[in-house]
Chain A
Amino acid sequence: MRLLVVEDNERLATFVVQGLKAAGFAVDQVGLAADALAALSTARYDAVVLDLGLPDSDGMSVLQEARGRGEATPVLVLTARDGLADRVKGLNAGADDYLLKPFAMDELVARLKALLRRPGAALGQLLEAGNLRLDTVNRAVEVDGRALLLGRREIALLELLLRRAGRVVAKSALEDGLYGFDEQASANSVEANVSRLRKKLEVAGVTVTIHTVRGVGYLLAEGGPVP
């Protein structure tokens, strides 16, 4: 996995590059907007970490120019600006995620992995959480290396939850993902599927839990249920 870090503060850049390398990424770092655009046009990156405050130009214009060229690489924006409108502006300009300074390295790594897990991204094939592993191409699930037999809808459900592991997936998003336009999702079929999946995972001894966030959706996280 090759990342481009665009950050002009040398000390911060050093620590970020060091942290990302420790997490197993190959990292290139530049400090200027012009260098960032040059790097993007010469090498192929799996994701970009982009600071918005650059000495020669605004990071937002780098983002717009890259997107204008058809650059589809996921971009995570780092920013010191978190005004009421700043976040909306960044996401509208084509950022895939948004992280406010100061941030924990774990959070940055987790967000980057989430970006890379998205469909089409390089990490998309194999999804892992705890002792659970899902091969999205062969539609196979393993717990501690042992195969676990699940229904087609249960695998689709698990994939949606794993792709956003640690974050809430809205119930409506699960309905859209599980049923096509011609299939009518009955009111509690998502709930029924989740409950079946939970039972099967529990029996198989997984170290992850599917939490219900009432009125919102579901969240898959490592660790046991709320005691």
Chain B
Amino acid sequence: MTAWSTSLQARLARRLGLLFLVVFIAATGMLFFRYRGGHGDISADRQFQLVRQVARALVPGPDGQWRIDLPANHEPFDFVIRGIDGAVLLSSSPGAAARLGAVPADWGRGLFEYRPVNGPAMATGAFERVATPAGPVIVQVAEAESRNERQARSVAEELIEDVAPIMLPLVLAALVIGVYTIRDNLAPLAAVAREAAAITPSETHRRLTERGLPDELQPLVAAVNGALDRLDEGFRRQREFTADAAHELRTPLAILAAHLDSLGDGGASASLRDDVARMGRLVSQLLSVAQLEAFAVAPNEVADLHALAVDVAASLAPLALQQGKEIAVVGGEAAVQVHGNSESLRQAIRNLVENAIQHTPGRTAVEIEVSAAPALSVRDHGPGVPATLRDRVTQRFWRADRRKGDGAGLGLAIVKRIADAHGGTLAIDEAPGGGACFTLRLPPGPLA
């Protein structure tokens, strides 16, 4: 365990904790400066506002009678106007002067306590000495509400005025941090998903990346990797078994072939020799299938399609000539480089040409054409492949006619697999003038 846990919870808690700490310090600082500036007492503030409101509305009468011009819908409060000597000059109601009581005249301004009409506890009012054209007077004000009501009002106003500017950004910031933290922490998950999507039977060695993932997800990814290890092992054992079985079959087949050869040409030995040769081919194809399951082209491998075509044509020409057929490499003679593995491509071309030799009638030629596309096509002059069967001929063990024992139906499946492993395609078409045309298209090499 590291000091800085990578768990999603821990990260979220750490970031939000940091946020609240910052906000707490900022809010405290703000309130401190605010109260230091003299606006600390919320209710006194309000009282002095009322004092000033009354002072502005005060009109001394020409006859020594005082009037007050308050707006008709003003908030309910009590006030008493006294002279410097304490005599009541004007009051909001007849009992107000008695209820609020006298205040010291020489203070200038201050607070006083009184008992509200229906409140159980004492309340605070404010007074101030105010200059008027008719000389100084003392304005004494008390809100008509009870202390509780007044405080609730003050607190609500405080909340709206002072706390909202802090709380709103706080809530927004918490949201942003929450969303960001989760998104940031789960970003590696998308990469892991892409890795998982890329795992195929030919790339069973791939594993998902555990580094950089939140602690909550690591056990899951580790478990998936464990499962992949076991699957890989199973795949590997199966491939090895197929390969070993193919190899092991060769020696008894070789003994059988040599034994048949020692018997001479009489009886059934010629047809038995053909059967042994067919079994030998089947063993080779099974081995190829097993090996191609795990086959991948190395990033820097380059092969020359033209050289491979010439090579395959040269090695299969004796077979074709024995059957009264020909092989030709047509088109240009220049090298055509592809990004690919020579041995597997040789095998793919060989399978295509063997297939074409099998299907082309006597006295016709199998033509291999290499183009700069880069592509290689093999055409014969046989019956061709009906459009409805073109998808099926590349499936394993598929044969046009099962009664003919020509092969196991693996040849074209192997070609398809090799094309796929190269990121290429195998197309089957009707050749102009009749016959089948198989075209292998491959990614170009570095010089193309």
- Chain A positions near chain B (C-beta within 8 angstroms): 9, 11-12, 15-16, 18-19, 22, 53, 78, 80-85, 87-88, 100-106, 166-168, 170, 211, 213-217, 219, 221, 226-227
Q: CB distance A80 to B258 under 8 Å? A: no
A84 contacts B251, CB within 8 Å? no
Q: Across the interface, do B318 and A103 meet the contact criterion of CB distance under 8 Å?
A: no
The distance in angstroms between the C-alpha atoms of A168 and B309, with both chains bound, is: 13
CB distance from B352 to the nearest CB of A (A): 16
Give the interface size class of chain B.
Answer: 35 or more
Closest B residue to A78 using CB positions: B254
Listed residue (A11, A81, A101) with the most chain B CB atoms within 10 angstroms of its CB: A101
Name the one of A22, A103, A104, A168 contacting B314, with C-beta atoms under 8 angstroms: A168
Question: In the complex the two chains form, is B258's CB within 8 Å of A215's CB?
Answer: no
Asked whether B313 lies within 8 Å of A9 as measured between CB atoms, the reply is no
Contact B291 A226 (CB under 8 A): no
CB nearest neighbor in A for B284? A82
Known: A101-B280, A102-B257, A104-B273. 5 other contacts (CB 8 A): A11-B259, A102-B280, A103-B257, A214-B365, A216-B310
Q: Is B11 an interface residue (CB 8 A)?
A: no
With A167-B318, A216-B327, A219-B318 already in contact, the answer to whether A83 and B250 are too (CB < 8 A) is no
User: Could you tell me the distance between the alpha carbons of A102 and B257 in the complex, rounded to whole angstroms?
Assistant: 6
Q: Does B326 contact A (CB under 8 A)?
A: yes
Q: Which 5 A-B pairs have the closest CB atoms?
A: A215-B329, A15-B258, A214-B328, A105-B261, A80-B250
A227-B250 in contact (CB<8A): no
Taking CB atoms and an 8 Å cut-off, the chain B residues in 384-435 that contact chain A are none
> What residues of chain A lie closer than 8 Å to B324, measured between beta carbons?
226-227
Q: Which residues of A contact B341 (CB under 8 A)?
A: 84
User: How many contacting A-B pairs (Cβ < 8 A)?
Assistant: 126
Q: Are B325 and A226 in contact (CB under 8 A)?
A: yes
Residues of chain B contacted by A18 (CB below 8 angstroms): 262
A104 and B277 form a contact (CB under 8 A)? yes
Question: Are A85 and B317 in contact, with the CB atoms below 8 A?
Answer: no
Q: Which residues of A contact B347 (CB under 8 A)?
A: 84
Residues of A within 8 Å of B291, CB to CB, are: 83-84
Could you tell me if B255 and A12 are in contact, using CB atoms closer than 8 angstroms?
yes
Main secondary structure of the interface of B (DSSP, over half): helix
A227-B330 in contact given A84-B341, A102-B280 (Cβ < 8 Å): no
Q: In the complex, which of the residues B277, B362, B365 contacts A102, with contact meaning CB atoms closer than 8 Å?
A: B277
The verdict on A167 contacting B314 (CB below 8 Å), with A102-B277, A213-B328, A227-B363 known, is: yes
A213 touches B258 (CB 8 A): no
Nearest-Cβ distance from residue A61 to partner chain B, whole angstroms: 18
Would you call A102 and B254 a contact (CB within 8 A)?
A: yes
**B26 adjacent to chain A (CB < 8 Å):** no
**In whole angstroms, how far apart are the Cα atoms of A80 and B347 in the complex?**
17
CB neighbours of B279 from chain A (8 A): 102
Inter-chain contact B255/A19, CB cutoff 8 Å: no
Q: Using Cβ atoms and an 8 Å threshold, which residues of chain B touch A16?
A: 258
Cα–Cα, bound, A216→B314 (Å): 7
- B313: chain A residues at CB < 8 Å are 168, 213, 215-216
Which residues of the partner chain A approach B284 to less than 8 Å between Cβ atoms?
82, 100
Known A104-B277, A226-B363: A213·B247 in contact at CB below 8 Å: no
How far is A155 from B164 in the complex, measured between Cα atoms in Å? Answer: 108
Given contacts A11-B255, A84-B343, A104 and B363 within 8 Å (CB-CB): no
CA A84 – CA B297 in complex, angstroms?
A: 12
